[in-house]
A and B are shown apart, each in its own frame.
Chain A
Amino acid sequence: MTEVSYLEHGHSLKSWLLTTDHKRIAILYFLSITFFFFVGGAAAALIRIDLLTPEADLMSNEGYNRAFTLHGVIMVWFFLIPSIPNTFGNFLVPLMIGARDLAFPRLNLLSWYIYMLGGLFTLAVLVLGGVDTGWTFYTPLSSMFANGNVILAATAIFVVGFSSILTGLNFIVTVHRLRCPGMTWGRLPLFVWSIYATSLILVLATPVLSITLVLIAAERLFGVGVFNPALGGDPLLYQHLFWFYSHPAVYIMVLPALGVISELVTAAARKPVFGYRFVAGSSIAIAIIGFLVWGHHMFVAGQSMYASAVFSFLSLAVAVPSGIKVYNWTATLYKGHIALDPPFLFAMSFIGLFVVGGMTGLILAMLAVDVHVHDTYFVIAHFHYIMVGGTVSAYFGALHYWWPKMMGRWLPLVWGRLSAIFIFLGFNLTFFPQFILGYLGMPRRYHVYPAEFQTLHVLSSAGASVLGLAYLLPFTYLLYSLRHGEKAPPNPWGATGLEWTVPSPPPQHNFHELPTVDGPPYQYPVEPDAERETAHG
């Protein structure tokens, strides 16, 4: 008996907006975060156009502050944090562990509605004129002096935090309680391990941010002295509380990407992953050590030098589990039968850019060097190599890899390869010059700069235009594939994992009968269901 796929199970708007199917909720998230990706991208475009010349040609000082704040707020909380967990995590975790849904399906839908409510608050901030504090909301600027919509923006982030917490909680309970028979912890796909580690951070760190935002509101609205020295508060306390959340939040953004790459590399090499236990364990290690490094954001803020020394050491230590992953992916590829498909190209792009971002992170973790490059474009380039070069590349890699499973349609492989290459080139042209700019002394958040920096800024803006077009490209051919793509078989890439054992797209309840797992993960090689190269180029 052929079961109806989740896409065909009801076509009305109501059937989508009231769905509790994890796969449909994943699609709702996909559409929403794509929208916010382009809104945040539009703010980035304004910034890069303004920086083409040393003078303030396009925006006022205030306008520029509001543009980069909006870019940061939207990209961090409305794209990067929910991107991989809420779309691919939602879609894949139950399929990968042999479950019919997440543990709390209605809570899952509620998470999406809360996300959308937070998004509406953010759009209201945009319509009402924006906010100018930077995405970090540093005090006492945000609590006393900023004249933008600080409270509204803080409310948006406060609200969307609950979506994060509920999603994290849902994943943790699902992984603990809904694994199918035989799916032991040692057999979990590495993507599930990374989502589990991410969920721990979501649940433990997000409440601290929520409380901190409430404290800003208390100080701004009622004059309660928490962060303002004039009222008996301490501005550094804000930075401690903010980074106690926001540095682990970096790992919320990148850990799911690391999980995606583990899947993509293994499938591309058609070999069992090298050092499964170490790759899985390194996700948990990153989640734990990631909580102990936040003070490296405060080396020049007046923090005690003894605390700075401890934070510096721990920041260097977090590179170890990250390095384990990179070495293990490389060892997995060694002597593999590598297929140069789009997901693999995105994975290779990720590995290269993540290594550059990671190595420059080590530079920033060193106390003395950080004094020179703190708050410069060096830092901007560093975290964009991790967040954009890393996470966004992995996001697109995941999109190409699981698209046939999610939509039941093949994508054009040639266009996929081209877009991976264009994104890689556009990204490097945009952000590599920023390392040099920063090292030469160009501060972040300035839009008027000395004329000698213009060449590097023009290069960066030119790269941003390539990158912007390259990001649009996949959406055009993926949309095209929905109508004109050939139907995808259950296992088009010849990959292991329970998600590839069900039809593409999967039926509403995933498995007709719950599967039983009787062996370790990644038992490659597996023959693909279709001859891709001849049929799809």
Chain B
Amino acid sequence: MTESNPLSPMKARITEIQQMTDIEKLIKLRFQNKTDASNFKYMPGQFIKLGVMGVGEAPISICTSQSDEPGLELCIRNAGRVTKALHNLNVGNTIWIRGPYGNGFPMEAIEGKDLLLVAGGLGIAPIRGVLQYALHHRELFGEISFLYGVRCYDLMLFKDEILDYFRHGDEKGVKLYLSYEDESDKVCYDLSCERDDRCTQGMVTKLFSMLDSKSNNSVSLIGGPPIMYKFTVRELEKMGFQPDEVYMTLERRMRCGVGQCGHCIVGTGKSIKYVCKDGPVFTLWDAMNTKGMI
């Protein structure tokens, strides 16, 4: 992004591509311009506009936490026109980036708290950034529990990391809980046999029964499809979470990312918000005040 025009992208090159599932790839990239690289500061939960010239741009969550490592990781599902074009690219190809945009999760404001992370499907992308941040600054946070719901093992994202947390998370400071929907899934079934206190067949909401009761100093950060929010929020409320202790990240059509193009607007005359600029992270209290948000 140049100062003169927020719609001007920065050049980046693909350095690595990892096929994560049939429809999702992890694309690692590096800015071509050193100034762009050093100016690119972001928080978990923020997003970028990722573009292929001649095709267009798509909003993509950043799935890492800022570290000394140069470059950026993006988990991209082949779901639309632009992401399909992105899936056809190879290592060494150029892509174009604007951002970072949005508010991100308020990592500094929630320091000292126990974290309950809940992710479903592709919603793990922003939540992974939160987890990395928290583990990177482990001393700043209390207990970390991470609930991840997948349809089946084949569709599980970041498999190696997830399995590592599943088996060795306790030593690293995160308790990982896993749910899977597909009853016939052999690998997940084996995982549930391996630790029946951490893995079960069912929706992600089923994992709540495995959790200790809520501490009086905890927040929940969630990412997933719209339908997941409704059910997850119900569980969180049952546990005693206050509406301002639940943070969720929303998806909308976003053309500009800078609060101008109007596509991501939600709410009523009393509560109109731009998801790209005022969010994409909102509290449950925001959602209660903004009709149509979840």
> Do the two chains bind?
no
